[in-house]
Amino acid sequence: MRNDERFEIQRAFDLLPHVVGASWTAVWFRMKGIKKPTREEFREKTIEYLRLVEPVFESYPKEEEFLEIIKYIEFRKNEVYEKIKSGEDKEIETRYDRYVDYG
């Protein structure tokens, strides 16, 4: 698969973790009155909210011409979840820091 065929999916996975996951997570903790969640709690809640959009990840038909992009989406999804869990997603870590500093 060429890079230009993956470009839009790459951009979506670059943005979704912090735009959807961390944003909804920050609001959740704020509404619950939890000012200092642990990093692990913040990461897990971020993944929980990201999982809510998984039906979009699975929306392409299981037809021959989509098989490569379906495999790529699964690969990127797993990669993103692992980076968040391990603390390697710098944007999620920045969002956590911002939340606990300014909650």
Question: Which pLDDT score is estimated for 1?
Answer: 63
What ranges do the domains of the chain cover?
3-102
Give yes or no for a contact between 62 and 14, defined as CB atoms under 8 angstroms apart: no
Question: Which pLDDT score is estimated for 17?
Answer: 96
User: Could you please report the per-residue DSSP string of 16-76?
Assistant: HIIIIIIHHHHHHHHHHT-SS--HHHHHHHHHHHHHTTHHHHT-S-SSGGGHHHHHHHHHH
For the full predicted model, state whether its pTM sits above 0.85. Answer: yes
Using the 8-state DSSP alphabet, how is residue 15 labeled? H
Q: Is 87 left (phi over 0), alpha (psi -120 to 50) or beta?
A: left
Task: With a cut of 90, say whether residue 103 has pLDDT above it.
Answer: no
Residues of the chain above pLDDT 70, percent: 96
- Which tens digit of pLDDT belongs to each residue from 14-59? 999 999 999 999 999 999 999 999 999 999 999 999 999 999 999 9
| pLDDT mean across residues, the chain | 95
